[in-house]
Amino acid sequence: MVADVHGESRVTASAYPAPSPEAILEAGPDALLVVAEDGTILMVNAAAERMFGYSRDELLGHDHRVLLAKGFRSGFHRLFFVLREDAWPPPVEAYAVRRDGSEFQGELTYSLLPQDAGTPAAGPASMAVTIRDTSRRVQTDAGLREAMSLLSATLESTADGILVVSAEGQIAGVNNQFVSMWGIPRNLLASQNDEAVMGYVLDQLKDPAKFVEKVTALYSDPAAESHDVLDFRDGRTFERYSRPQTVANQVVGRVWSFRDVTAARLAQEQITKAMADLAEQSAQLKALAFQDPLTGLSNRQLFNDHLAAALLGPYGTAVDLLLLDLDDFKEVNDILGHHAGDQMLIEVGRRLRGCVRPNDVVARLGGDEFVVLLVGSLDPDEVAGRIVESLKVPVWIDGTMLRPSLSLGLASISDDAVGASELLRRADVAMYAAKAAGKNRYLRFRPEMLQSLVQRTELETGLRLAVDSGQITVLYQPIISATLGAVVTVEALARWVRDGETIPPERFIPAAERSGLIVEIGTEVLLKACTELKPWLAEDSARRLAVNVSGVQLQHGDFAELVQAATASCGVDPRQLILEVTESVFFDDDGHVIQQLNALRNAGVGVALDDFGTGYSSLGRLQELPVDTLKIDQSFTAMIQTGTEKLPILSCMVTMAHGLGLTVTAEGVETAAQAEYLMGLDCESLQGFLFSGAEAQSALNSAIARSTEVFGTLRGGRVSETR
Ligand code: C2E
Ligand code: CA
Ligand code: CA
């Protein structure tokens, strides 16, 4: 119905028949559609056919979304909700698409159609939508359209979930990806109950408070952009970007985009873990390269590095080296086997660690040699003392009790010793001095020690000439037979007489053994003794000559032949010869030493086990050894002081030896009380200063006479004569 308010052009209504509402709708310039709640087109007018290029039949009963450009197809349901809030909502801008695919911008107005009286209130609703082509309008923002189409094209194709929220905080749009990423039920989204949607979202997060905090912060600062990471309770991780949505420089809302980075994060975590594993492995490999595999202590290389670093430290910092070497470790290895040796080294390493601070370096340099590096220590002597003490506690290995002992050399940085090699050399010299001073102790380096080192090397060179120039002489010590009350055996003891000075065997025998010269010295002693004593031996076939033999000599395969040749050349009956060996000659034996001794015994030569009870002697092994006599070491004899004490170890040794068919000689008998005590234990022979020391061959007869005389004064000394 048209009415002119100005009157003059007023035309009366009756001049024209009143058109029907249908005709008006049909003739209207704007496209008009009726769309059911399920999106089906129920009605279109002619303008709609024209505008979209479809025939009526092609549209009716079809989904309305064919008419909307991509990016505008998902908002339909929301319009129903909008209408329930607001019967006359403002028009919306959208892009529509014609049958030929061309797009155009349009303005949509929409309203809810009243339902027929007959339909139940809850029945399906429908909506009238008018579309006006606004593409001819002056484009105020040419870029906008491009941006819009780009946006609409990308929105659905992107893997990101996108949510657009209006400035008023209402959800203005989402893409499908958003819905599926968050798993939001469609109807919940359509309900426009933003609080419920928010609740649904928050429920999935590990830290919902943080999420809310961010959202709140962004609403108070609409122009801000943000990026953060959301952790889901189910283990997923989303990246969240948010930027304002602006139209003509006006913030009209906010776009949130979410990207599922779970896979990327897992991959990253795997890489990080792999890198960490690799780093750990290489650290382990590196540690192994610097670690002594047996004890877990530092190795020589690492020690050298630490020492070099310590010496580069600030001037005045104390740097001390404690170099140590186990005493007689070879014997542990030889007697108990390498496994026991290893256990011993491990235990020693453990004890060393226990004696120092956690940061002090303890290294095994190889074999049974260890070193401790102390930096900034206030009292290195105290530490050295503690180490020596700590090793006195017995170690149990494979059921055997061992008492490790070590010799330790201590050297400290000083004005005249600043280099690593000088420090090490000094510690080494001090360690040797500790060994020479009787082992099982520590000594601090003193310059005089270098002097004795020089002497030691001089000794070794001098020893070479000693044999050739006849400086080795032999003394004889009588051994009295308690059963016969007479001296029937004498022991040959070597002496080195150099420039009128007599050097005791303790000083030169170890050097001779180290250099191998002991073979020549031993042969010399044997030949000299046989030659010098031949007349005395010839007087009585019961007389014997005992000669000491070093393990080094027995290592030579021709030892047995050599001995037999020597006796033969001197014209001495092999049955009058006794070889004194220590238990250590059997330690490393592969049967070869035993073989040689057996060969000699078959030729009538006797074998005595010298210094029994020292070192790592074992009564248990005794029966396997090819020996005839046991020589109880002086240290046991020295235990007898008053002669009234109970010494079960002594009686046990003697009983055991007798049980094995061996005779027993006690060494180092210095007092009558000792002699009587030992005779009381039924020791067959006695040797010691009580009777006589070692004398030259020329003084032997008087020494023997004196020995017999002394024996006669002993209580029980004459009993034997009556036997
Ligand atoms: P050994 O075989 O145990 O010899 C006994 C040592 O004890 C001798 O020392 C002897 O003088 C000493 N002695 C004897 N009676 C007593 C005593 O009542 N009290 C004390 N305190 N000591 C006594 P020596 O002659 O100095 O020999 C020391 C060691 O050197 C010998 O101990 C032996 O192991 C070794 N030795 C000596 N001569 C030779 C040799 O020709 N060859 C080898 N391989 N070693 C030898
Ligand atoms: Ca001996
Ligand atoms: Ca001895």
- Residue 704: what pLDDT? 98
Question: What is the rounded CA–CA span in Å between residue 402 and residue 482?
Answer: 35
Given a cut of 50, whether residue 721 has pLDDT beyond it is no
pLDDT band at 682 (very low <50, low <70, confident <90, very high): very high
Find the residues whose C-beta lies inside 6 A of ligand 1: 477, 493-494, 504-506, 509, 522, 525, 548-550, 580, 610-611, 634, 667-670, 687-689, 694
333-343 confidence digits (pLDDT tens): 887 888 889 99
For residue 612, how far is its CA from the centre of ligand 1 (angstroms)? Answer: 13
**AA identity, residue 159:** A
**Closest to 708 in 3D by CA, of 696, 698, 697, 720:** 720
Q: How confident is the model at residue 145 (pLDDT cuts 50, 70, 90)?
A: low
3-state helix, strand, coil split of the chain in percent (to 5) is 45, 25, 30
Ligand nearest to the CA of 494: 1
pLDDT by residue (tens digit) across 76-90?
A: 777 887 887 777 888
Choose between 518 and 163: higher pLDDT.
Answer: 518
Rounded to the nearest whole angstrom, what is the distance from the C-alpha of residue 511 to the centroid of ligand 1?
Answer: 16
Write out the residues surrounding ion ligand 2, Cβ under 5 A: 548, 580, 610
User: What pLDDT band is residue 533 in, cutting at 50, 70 and 90?
Assistant: very high
What integer is the mean pLDDT of 129-154?
67
Residue 686 and residue 96: Cα distance in Å, rounded? 129
Mean pLDDT of 506-527: 91
Q: How many angstroms separate the alpha carbon of residue 440 from the centre of ligand 2?
A: 24
* pLDDT tens, residue by residue, 232-247: 999 999 988 888 887 7
Specify the residue with its C-alpha closest to ligand 1, atom 20: 668
Percent of the chain clearing pLDDT 90 (strictly above)? 46
Q: Which tokens is 588 given?
A: 């490393």
Cα-based torsion angle of the residue sequence 353, 357, 361, 367 in order, rounded to the nearest 10 degrees: -20
What pLDDT shows up at residue 140?
A: 54
Q: Which two tokens stand for residue 478?
A: 């009588």
- 676-687 as b/e: b if 16+ CB within 10 A: bbbbebebbbbb
Least confident of 128-142, 281-295, 345-359, 460-474: 128-142
Predicted pLDDT of residue 44: 93
**Bigger pLDDT: 157 or 716?**
716
Q: pLDDT averaged over the chain?
A: 86
- Residue 504: other Cβ atoms inside 10 A: 11
Question: What does residue 109 show for φ and ψ, rounded to 5 degrees?
Answer: -120, 150
Rounded Cα–Cα distance for residues 162 and 491 (Å): 108
User: What pLDDT, on the 0 to 100 scale, is given for residue 320?
Assistant: 96
Distance CA 385, CA 722 (A): 57
- Predicted confidence at residue 232, as pLDDT, reads 93
Residue of 480, 502, 548 best suited for mutating to test ligand 1, as the one with most atoms within 8 Å of CB: 548
| Rounded percentage of the chain residues whose pLDDT exceeds 70 | 92
Confidence class for position 5, pLDDT limits 50, 70, 90? very low
pLDDT exceeds cutoff 50 at 716: yes
Closest residue by CA, ligand 1 atom 3: 611
Contact status, residue 104 vs residue 96, Cβ threshold 8 Å: yes
Chain segment 599-649, per-residue pLDDT in tens: 999 999 999 999 987 766 666 677 888 999 999 999 889 999 998 988 888
CA of 491 to the centre of ligand 2 (A): 7
Residue 569 has pLDDT above 80, yes or no: yes
Per-residue pLDDT tens digits for 541-561: 999 999 999 999 998 889 999
Are 601 and 626 contacting, i.e. CB atoms less than 8 angstroms apart? yes
Measured in angstroms, how far is the CA atom of residue 106 from the centroid of ligand 3? 122
HSE on the CB side for 57, CA within 13 Å? 0
pLDDT at 691: 97
Model pLDDT for residues 639-658, shown as the tens digit of each residue: 999 989 888 888 888 998 99
